[in-house]
Chains A and B, each alone.
Chain A
Amino acid sequence: MLTAQILEAFSQRISWSTMRVILKICDLPVRRGWEQTIQKLTDEESVRDDISDKIEQLKKCYDNHLLVNDKALKIYQLERKNIDKLIAAFKKYKPENTAFHQTYPFPLSDDNLKEVDFSQKLVEIRDTKDSLVAIFCTKRLFIERSQIDTEELNEDTRKDLAGYDKIIGVKEHYRQFFDVVVLSKQRNNIEVRVDITGSLSSEDKSKAFFQTIQQFNNLSENIAIVKTPLQESINFFPLIDNLYESDEGKVVELAFITDEGSTKSEKMRKGSVDLRTETYHYAGKQAVEHITSYRLAISWNIKICQRINSQPELLLPGRAQILSNQTQYLDEVYILNCSSLDDYEFVVEKIFDYLE
């Protein structure tokens, strides 16, 4: 039963390919797709005693996963003494019981979620070797757009819609999001990680950051008497050129302008070559004095075991307008496709390595 619950919760949050990596990490069997795998694991759970440790590990992966996938990230630098003061105060603080605790760390059912208001709730404070983590849950409206298959409509409706090439359905539903604030015990910074699972719109993401930062600042003032610790976040913009010009990972997306007035956006298919060395891109770059990049995505291939690789990705989501500003400032990045805490930490390490 627990296995089904874990996998159902995972299925709302990650791709099947990332799930396969996690199952391999836990040394659990993988079948074709979610349904068959849930069935297989549920069957094994009831007959095999030796599988419980692996399922416990899967549950731990899920708990960790809430901290790392998929997140938009802002980083704030603080003095060590202030971070230590916050850690000491938050460690002693016990979050109030909320509706989310009925099922936490698993999400509420759709029916139960409907009954919850939109305010953000602190649900857990997790103390680990490297950090202290505050986890918040929030109900947000999620808008899904998908193409309607007209073959499924009745004859009359099909006739009415005959003049349209595509019919797009807009479905609004509520989802539970897990936003996280991480106070590092090693580095002098605090990370705000906003849950962007399922492509949150830019506006909703900004609201989520605002909500989480405000919530954390209020809590800090109330329980640690540290006023507004999250103020100005670090500028990630220099990472775009620093990573592009390095031999780090594989560049999978790049947007840039040239001084001749063009704006270019290039994206590689999964599994293709590094964009830096792709023939068309390479030749174009040789033809101009320089390109000025404003958006870049880079991925890494981390071998987990034979034929299974994890591919965490870092996206620096700049817009062309940044280049027209007097100062180029990018205050957030996205860390995607992480299958473990290690993947996430690997990407964060790269951020700090290449910001220097």
Chain B
Amino acid sequence: MIVISKQQIVEQIHQDWLQQPQSQICIAIFDYLICSNFQNLSHITYGSLRKVVGKSYDNRDLLTAVQYLCGDRTHLLEAKFELIDNDNYFEISDDEMTEARETGQLLHPETGKLIRNFEDKVFIYFQPSSVVKNLA
């Protein structure tokens, strides 16, 4: 595993986004990840990231920044999926999600039954990635 430093990450973000708002958004999220206990950040939603970055950035900028942080360039965030069914939460593994997207069908993790319109019931959340956990 390659261990990189906080400084390298910050430089990478600035280099990729220059003066664009995504630069500040990514840094704000990165600061939040490294200033918190990882154990306490197991379920970060879009709503929570909005609180972290504040109200001054528009949604499109936040979205592109989050996509970037999940991507290979920095990979600071790990995207996870969950099924929300009648206020109950079920984790969906990456493999299950990939299969569901390929086949258009998702099986309920508990009942084993097919879920109609699963795209409306499956939501994304985020966790700090191994890159963040192993920062120098």
A residues lining the B interface (CB < 8 Å):
238, 241, 257-261, 288-290, 292, 294, 320-328
Contacts and interface: CB of A to CB of B under 8 A. Distances in A.
B101 interface: no
Interface in B21-35: 32, 35
Given A238-B55, A324-B84, A326-B63, A292 B47 contact: yes
B116 interface: no
A259 B41 contact: yes
B46 A257 contact: no
Contacts of B124: 324
Contact of A259 (B35, B42, B55): B42
B49 to A, nearest CB: 9
A292 B126 CA distance: 14
A264 B59 CA distance: 26
Contact of A288 (B40, B43, B52, B84): B40
Contact of B50 (A260, A261, A289, A328): A328
Contacts of B125: 324
Nearest to A265: B87
Per DSSP, chain A at the interface is: loop
B84 A321 contact: yes
Nearest to B37: A260
Contacts of A289: 32, 35-36
A288 B55 CA distance: 20
Q: Give 5 nearest A-B pairs by CB, closest first.
A: A323-B47, A324-B123, A261-B43, A323-B45, A292-B48
A11 B125 CA distance: 47
B113 interface: no
A257 B52 contact: no
B125 to A, nearest CB: 6
A205 to B, nearest CB: 18
Interface string B48-64: 10111001000100010
A326 B46 contact: yes
Interface of B: 32, 35-36, 39-48, 50-52, 55, 59, 63, 82, 84, 87, 123-125
Given A320-B87, A324-B84, A326-B63, A257 B45 contact: yes
A251 to B, nearest CB: 17
A328 B59 CA distance: 9
A14 B38 CA distance: 50
A322 B47 contact: yes
A269 B118 CA distance: 38
A288 B35 CA distance: 12
A260 B40 contact: yes
Given A323-B46, A326-B59, A290 B52 contact: yes
Nearest to A293: B47
Nearest to B87: A320
A352 B55 CA distance: 17
Given A259-B36, A259-B45, A290-B51, 14 more contacts: A257-B43, A257-B47, A259-B41, A259-B44, A259-B48, A260-B43, A288-B40, A289-B32, A321-B84, A323-B45, A324-B82, A324-B124, A325-B46, A328-B50
A118 to B, nearest CB: 28
A324 B63 CA distance: 12
Contact of B47 (A260, A261, A328): A328
B42 A261 contact: yes
A266 to B, nearest CB: 16
A327 B46 CA distance: 8
